[in-house]
Structure formats: C-alpha cells, structure tokens
Amino acid sequence: MSNSPRRLIVGNWKMNGLTADLSEIEEVAWNIGELSADVAICPPATLLQSAVRITAGSRILLGAQDCSAQEGGAYTGDISARMIADCRARIVILGHSERRQYQCETDAIVRRKAEIALSAGLIPVICVGETEAEHLRQETLAVLKSQLQDCLPAALNETAVVIAYEPVWSIGTGRVPDQGEILAAHTFIRSSLIDAYGSVGAQLRILYGGSVKPENSAEILALENVDGVLVGGASLRAASFLRICEATGT
Ligand code: PEP
C-alpha cells in the first residue's frame, strides 16, 4: 500500500448548486483535516470563485467540470483552462460521459482539452468507460483501450493526470459493477498507463466513478489500483460526501 499513489476523492456537482449550497462545500472543507486523501469538489462554474474564497486556508481542492478546447478568444459561452486556473481552481474533469453524450465530445477533443489544461497548470481528470451495450457485449477492455489511446496526452513528465473509470451504465443508476469487473478495468488501465508513460504511469491515480455511496465506498476503495473515487449524486450533501472521504482513513 505504501507505494500506492495518494488517494483522491472528487465530487462532481454537475448542473446542481446555487449560492445557498456553498455551505456544503464549506462544511466539507473544514472537516477533512486529518484525512490522508486529497479531496476535491467540482461545483458549477458560477460557484467556483466563491468556493475558492470561502475555503481559503483549508485543504480542499476546487475544480471545474469542463474547459474549452481553445486557449481563448471568440468562443462565446466557453470557459478556458487559464480562466479556471486564474480562479485558483486546481483540477478539471474532462470527457465525462454526459459531455460525450450531450455535447458530442470525441476522444480527440478530450485529448486537446487535457493538453490545454496541463499547460494551464490544472490537473485533468479524464473520464473513460463503456456504455451498457458495450458492457453487455463484453467490450469493456476494448473500449478502454481505444479511449485511452486517443484521450491521453502524448507525453507526461509528472503525475499530473488522473484517470476516472466510469461505466456509463453505472452513473446515477445505483448499479455498480461487481468487484471483479472494477478490478479488471483498473488493472487494464494501470498497465496501459505504464505502457504509455513508464514509471510515471505506475503513479498516476485511477479513480472509480458510478453510483458511489457511503455504503459501498469502503469496499470499492479497498480494491487494488483504485486510488480514489469520482462521486456525483452523493457529493451534493456534505454529510454523505464526508462519509465517503472518511472511508479512505486517516
Ligand atoms: C458522475 O457523475 O461522475 C457520477 C459518478 O455520478 P453518480 O455518482 O451519481 O453515479
């Protein structure tokens, strides 16, 4: 365990959260002091700067849920990686299946965003995972192989990229792959990262995401090569998110 990367727990608020909900982030920020894991919340962009301000001095990391594939300029409505870094946010989720589905994001776009995020000093959390149909056809590893080949930045010289394995059919459904399936996916991702980046790949964090709750987080986090979790619904309330964070131990 001692050679394992430091764990990372990320909350993805999606398109949820108004000013009144900032108190949930504050509560998380001031209650993670003794944990040995890194903890991050990615609220909607409208709350990012306020979230950074009210948690200054705590250990929480703040992040965005997406960034533009462009550096800047005439792209109405987009938010650049540099703008996110300028808010003093530290991470950015990229290639979430909801963006792939609703915004038609391709692997090539995700790779471009990851490269721009890295050059802005952000940690990209790159999401990969199979659909339900692909799962039923037992194509999970083939899908992961192709997504990793096409999404990962070409070169990395530090452990600044995070991969999140998120089976699409598990997101928001309450259905979680069995332990053997999670283990197989994470083992495959780890060997792909080592193939791509050598010893750096052995230290990159691989998160599991999909219906993680306080009730199942400890058993998921105990699996080899699961270096943390990406949490949607259960991250919206401080009480449930903190229980998941606490499953990493002190
Ligand atoms: C997610 O949105 O990345 C996610 C994993 O959602 P949930 O935890 O609600 O399944």
pLDDT along the chain (250 residues), means of 10: 82 98 98 93 98 97 98 97 98 98 97 96 97 98 98 82 98 97 98 94 96 97 97 98 91
Interval between CA 236 and ligand 1 midpoint (Å): 11
Structure tokens at 166: 């998120």
Q: Which of 166, 171, 169, 164 is nearest to 233 (CA)?
A: 171
Q: Indicate if 186 belongs to the active site.
A: no
Nearest CA to ligand 1 atom 8: 232
Q: Report whether 195 contacts 144 (CB < 8 A).
A: no
Q: How far is the CA of 93 from the centre of ligand 1 (A)?
A: 12
Other beta carbons within 10 Å of 217: 22
pLDDT at 1: 43
Catalytic residue among 24, 105, 130, 166: 166
The binding-site residues of ligand 1, defined as CB within 6 angstroms of any ligand atom, are 12, 14, 166, 171-172, 209-212, 230-234
Residue minimizing CA distance to atom 1 of ligand 1:
232
166 in catalytic set: yes
Between the CA of 92 and the centroid of ligand 1 the distance, in Å, is 15
Hey, whose CA ends up nearest to atom 2 of ligand 1? 232
Q: Which of 96, 105, 135, 246 is catalytic?
A: 96
Q: Give pLDDT, residue 3.
A: 73
Give the ligand 1 atom nearest the CA of 231: 8
Asked if residue 226 lies in contact with residue 182, where contact means CB atoms within 8 angstroms, the answer is: yes
